[in-house]
Amino acid sequence: MDSPQRHADTSAPPLVPLLTATEELTPSLDALLTTIALRARAGDLAARNALYVALQAKIARFVRRYRYPPWSDDGRWDADDVGQEAFLVLVELINTWPGEGTFGPYFLSRFPWRLRDAVVRRLIRPSRLECATLSASDPCHATATPETLIWLEDLADRMTPLAGAIIRGRIRDGEPFCRIAHRLGVNRRTVHRAWCVILTELRAAEGTEPLQKRESEGVE
């Protein structure tokens, strides 16, 4: 199946019901959501955003579980970061929906585990990778040796000002992405994109053997 074309829609966004976190989908509500989802799948950005607004309370319920153990992390990411990922998961879900049947059951049956996969892949695993890359000192818990801190500062100085600030905030100071983004005055997605580049630099500078060992342990 070909991917739907993307285009900015300048028309007014569709009117949508604001569903509660526990509200059941009636046939009429499901039909309305399906109509909007079809528009969003065809590339209507206003319909996509309206669908997110309609489902926001239900999405927030799925996000809330990541505030507590065993999902809560050591401060390197938080539920706000999960909320950011949730929007991207919804966009992916709209794009992969075959357009057959109704959208409501498709969303409810797939969104929770796709969000879980996104949290593991985009938040937990990168957090563990950065620890593995610097495994000799475990900077995730602020126990880095002076030698490692010097190495980090040297790496930060050789990168762009934004990347350097992210390295210092994320690894040296243990800040979550949302706090770094707020402090630097940029979008969290900008921080995430820069972090992917930084991880590549870290792995290249430190070597991949310790990293591969930690990756093989898996994510619980």
Which residues have CB under 8 Å from 36's CB, separation 6+?
14, 16, 47, 50, 51, 54
Residue 35's CATH number:
1.10.1740.10
Query: Could you say which of 125, 160, 183 is where a domain stops?
Result: 125
Task: Measure Cα distances from 45 to 10, 52, 68, 92, 104 in Å.
Answer: 9, 11, 33, 13, 19
Angle at 139 between CA 201 and CA 175, to 5 degrees: 85
What is the domain range of residue 43? 27-125
89 with 134, same domain: the answer is: no
Say if residues 36 and 16 touch (Cβ distance below 8 Å): yes
How many helices (H) and strands (E) are present in the chain, helices listed first?
Answer: 10, 0
Here the CATH number for the domain that contains residue 193 is 1.10.10
Total domains, the chain: 2
For each of the chain's 220 residues, which pLDDT tens digit applies? 444 444 444 455 677 788 888 888 899 999 999 999 999 999 999 999 999 999 999 999 999 888 776 666 555 667 778 888 899 899 999 999 998 899 999 999 999 989 988 887 777 765 555 554 444 334 444 445 566 667 777 777 888 888 888 888 887 777 877 888 888 998 877 887 788 777 776 666 554 333 333 333 333 3
Q: Where is the domain boundary, 125, 145, 168?
A: 125
pTM over 0.75: no
On whether both 67 and 92 belong to a single domain, the answer is yes
